[in-house]
């Protein structure tokens, strides 16, 4: 089980980075053959803010042994300060700046964003994979996912979207750990019933229904959405995994070849699929090209050691 957890944790982090970097290429190469040529032409696969924030969250979980919101906020802000060019959404940099220049905590500042509504962007969900790996099928997962989200995303939809994505990674990791095969329909239904907001529950119910009907991906994307808002991207990312759970590549292509916020769709699907299938199932040609791949693999192993089976 220790080796399986380690493989699953490394798979989740590298899967996120691969999905993010390849998804970013799909913004300008949206057809399968064109994308394959673009990947071959790249000396390195460069990830974006999705993976930079995932790394910060994994490091914070390992250092703190759980979610310490102030320390997580500080680590996210430090990563942003080192690499502000990673393509961050507009909200997090504002929060980092204001928290640094005031006596307010990160969560207090995050609550003021977007006219006091807080953010419902997909930024908390795209980075939450390490919480799923660490807590898996444990009851603490839900609170840890909320706590990790609240550092930048205070809107109930932003928090709920992150918690459902964390649960998807948690279910995938737990199945991998115990060598069990996951039932896509049962998983979609249980994720729907775990959601706390009507909007996300209804989207996940639509995912379950469309999976059962065998609806084509473009129809699913049009129905549930694929935008920068979490309720319009996380459900399609989970669908892309559940449609073909045995193939990282097929899940990733479904996530990123139907338009929208494709780096983030890739990061979310890649994290779930990588956790479920383990590091050895990731396409080796891409794995060796991904930026900081050795560090991501080591970080996954350290995360597994910090939260053992």
Residues that bind Mg ion (CB under 5 A): 48-50, 87, 261, 263-264
What is the smallest separation between the CB atom of 226 and ligand F2R, expressed in angstroms? 8
Which runs of consecutive H residues, i.e. helices, occur in 151-183?
156-177
State the burial class of residue 218 (Cβ atoms within 10 Å of its Cβ: 0-12, 13-18, 19+): exposed
The secondary structure of 55-106 as a DSSP string is: HHHHHHHHHHSS--HHHHHHHHHHHHHH-GGG---SHHHHHHHHHHTSS--H
Partner interacting with residue 270 (select from Mg ion, ligand F2R, none; CB below 5-8 Å by kind): none
What is the smallest separation between the CB atom of 233 and ligand F2R, expressed in angstroms? 8
Partner interacting with residue 232 (select from Mg ion, ligand F2R, none; CB below 5-8 Å by kind): none
Quick one: which of 146, 147, 4, 161 has its CA closest to 67? 147
38 or 306: CB nearest Mg ion: 38
What is the smallest separation between the CB atom of 23 and Mg ion, expressed in angstroms? 8
What is the smallest separation between the CB atom of 214 and ligand F2R, expressed in angstroms? 28
What is the smallest separation between the CB atom of 23 and ligand F2R, expressed in angstroms? 9
Partner interacting with residue 163 (select from Mg ion, ligand F2R, none; CB below 5-8 Å by kind): none
87 or 283: CB nearest ligand F2R: 87
74 or 264: CB nearest Mg ion: 264
Partner interacting with residue 229 (select from ligand F2R, Mg ion, none; CB below 5-8 Å by kind): ligand F2R
267 or 282: CB nearest ligand F2R: 267
Residues that bind ligand F2R (CB under 6 A): 48-50, 87, 89-92, 114, 117, 119-123, 126, 155, 228-229, 261, 263-264
6 or 119: CB nearest Mg ion: 119
Gap between the Cα atoms of 144 and 109, Å rounded: 19
**DSSP conformational letter for 229:** B
1 or 90: CB nearest ligand F2R: 90
Partner interacting with residue 244 (select from ligand F2R, Mg ion, none; CB below 5-8 Å by kind): none
State the burial class of residue 96 (Cβ atoms within 10 Å of its Cβ: 0-12, 13-18, 19+): buried
- Please list, in sequence order, all residues whose beta carbon lies within 8 angstroms of the beta carbon of residue 133, skipping any fewer than 6 positions away: 8, 9, 12, 169, 170, 173, 275, 300, 303, 304, 307
Encoded tokens for 91:
């909200």
Rounded to 5 degrees, φ, ψ at 175 are -65, -45
Encoded tokens for 15:
């899967």
């Amino acid at each position: 089980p220790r080796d399986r957890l380690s493989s699953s944790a490394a798979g989740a982090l590298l899967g996120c980075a691969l999905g993010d970097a390849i998804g970013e290429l799909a913004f300008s190469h949206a057809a399968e053959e064109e994308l394959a040529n673009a990947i071959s032409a790249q000396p390195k696969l460069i990830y974006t803010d999705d993976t930079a924030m995932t790394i910060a969250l994994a490091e914070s979980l390992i250092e703190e042994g759980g979610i310490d919101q102030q320390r997580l906020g500080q680590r996210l802000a430090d990563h942003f300060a080192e690499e502000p060019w990673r393509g961050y959404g507009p909200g997090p940099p504002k929060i980092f700046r204001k928290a640094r220049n005031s006596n307010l905590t990160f969560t207090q500042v995050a609550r003021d964003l977007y006219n006091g509504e807080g953010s419902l962007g997909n930024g908390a969900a795209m980075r939450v994979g390490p919480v799923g790996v660490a807590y898996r099928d444990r009851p603490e997962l839900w609170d840890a996912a909320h706590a990790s989200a609240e550092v930048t995303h205070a809107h109930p939809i932003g928090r709920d979207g992150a918690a459902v994505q964390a649960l998807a990674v948690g279910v995938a990791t737990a199945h991998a750990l115990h060598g069990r095969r996951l039932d896509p329909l049962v998983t979609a239904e249980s994720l729907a019933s775990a959601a706390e907001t009507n909007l996300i529950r209804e989207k996940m119910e639509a995912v379950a229904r469309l999976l059962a009907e065998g609806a084509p991906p473009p129809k699913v994307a049009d129905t549930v959405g694929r935008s920068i808002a979490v309720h319009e991207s996380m459900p399609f990312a989970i669908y892309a995994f559940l449609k073909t759970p045995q193939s990282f590549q097929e899940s990733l292509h479904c996530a990123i070849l139907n338009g929208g916020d494709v780096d983030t769709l890739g990061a979310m699907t890649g994290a779930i699929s990588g956790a479920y299938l383990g590091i050895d199932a990731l396409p080796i040609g891409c794995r060796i090209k991904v930026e900081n791949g050795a560090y991501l693999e080591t970080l996954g192993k350290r995360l597994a050691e910090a939260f053992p089976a």
